[in-house]
């Protein structure tokens, strides 16, 4: 289905197992440079346990509209708010992956956790993507700028080179091709703008505003958002618990799907 989040701009939303037996719902927010299909290993399993899975493509990505603007954390959090309101979702678990983690954190702060009973962060870009005094484990700004510049030059080559560092182990050429093809469903300018926002914004001040029980799932071998960043996020969200995923890099929903699924089922039902 498509939901209008502002005049003339629609985002794609998929609702899997809307008749979930135990009335538990996870709302998934994907990360850069992917779309909602990155969570296929969750969609295959969680509905079997009565969990309704609602997922959206962030504007500019996947099947959503691809406007030139509107890629700030505030605007993307507003998009989530419109979707939750339109679908009348209540007491959900809000799950954000990578940059989607930063966006869900901003939503929790900006909307005071409205409609959300629990927050799940998976390999989240938090507290910041770029290193600064309050978040010393991010990448140097020069590295972030180099990543952005590569997208202007040759996006397919850039994505092909990124894929192996996204995963902790060699999952084969087919998985790498799947990753690249999914990313190429996005507008190239949207990918650039999202990474620019991640490099220039942060959620450091948002973390202390989160009141909901929070589970932080993070790959200990993450090369993009170091595990120490997850430890820092854990320290700054009062009611949070950190779950290390010992066989995962940045792509935990794919690298370690079985364990993550079990942890999510336990968290949702706790």
Residues annotated as catalytic are 98, 222, 250
Distances in whole angstroms, Cα of residue 234 to Cα of each of 16, 227, 239, 240: 30, 11, 9, 6
Q: Locate 93 and state its tokens.
A: 């678990």
Dist CA 23 CA 99 (whole Å): 27
- C-alpha 93: how far from chain center: 13
Question: Kind and range of the H or E element at 80?
Answer: helix 73-87
Instruction: Provide the 3-class DSSP secondary structure of residue 205.
Output: coil
Euclidean distance between CA atoms 134 and 129, whole angstroms = 12
Helix (H, G, I), strand (E, B) or coil at 179: helix
DSSP state of 37: G
For residue 33, whether the previous peptide bond is cis, meaning omega lies within 30 degrees of 0, is yes
Starting at the earlier edge strand, list the strands of the sheet with 92-97: 2-6, 9-16, 51-56, 24-29, 92-97, 116-122, 214-219, 240-245
């Amino acid at each position: 289905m498509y939901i209008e989040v502002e005049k003339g701009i629609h985002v794609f939303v998929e609702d899997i197992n809307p008749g979930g037996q135990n009335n538990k719902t996870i709302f998934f927010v994907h990360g850069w440079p992917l779309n909602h299909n990155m969570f296929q290993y969750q969609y295959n399993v969680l509905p079997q346990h009565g969990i309704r899975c609602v997922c959206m493509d962030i504007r500019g990505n996947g099947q959503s509209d691809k406007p030139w603007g509107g890629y700030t954390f505030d605007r993307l959090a507003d998009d989530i708010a419109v979707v939750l309101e339109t679908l009348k979702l209540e007491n959900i678990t809000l799950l954000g992956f990578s940059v989607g983690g930063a966006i869900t954190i901003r939503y929790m702060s900006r909307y005071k956790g409205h409609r959300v009973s629990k927050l799940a962060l998976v390999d989240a870009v938090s507290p910041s993507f770029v290193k600064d005094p309050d978040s010393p484990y991010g990448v140097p700004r020069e590295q972030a700028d180099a990543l952005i510049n590569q997208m202007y030059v040759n996006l397919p080559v850039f994505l092909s080179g990124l894929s192996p560092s996204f995963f902790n182990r060699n999952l084969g050429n087919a998985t790498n091709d799947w990753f690249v093809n999914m990313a190429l469903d996005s507008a190239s300018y949207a990918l650039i703008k999202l990474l620019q926002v991640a490099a220039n914004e942060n959620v450091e001040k948002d973390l202390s505003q989160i009141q909901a029980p929070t589970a932080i799932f993070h790959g200990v071998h993450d090369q993009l958002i170091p595990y120490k960043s997850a430890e820092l996020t854990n320290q700054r969200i009062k009611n949070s618990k950190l779950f290390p995923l010992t066989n995962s890099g940045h792509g935990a929903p794919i690298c370690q799907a079985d364990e993550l699924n079990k942890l999510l089922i336990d968290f949702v039902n706790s």
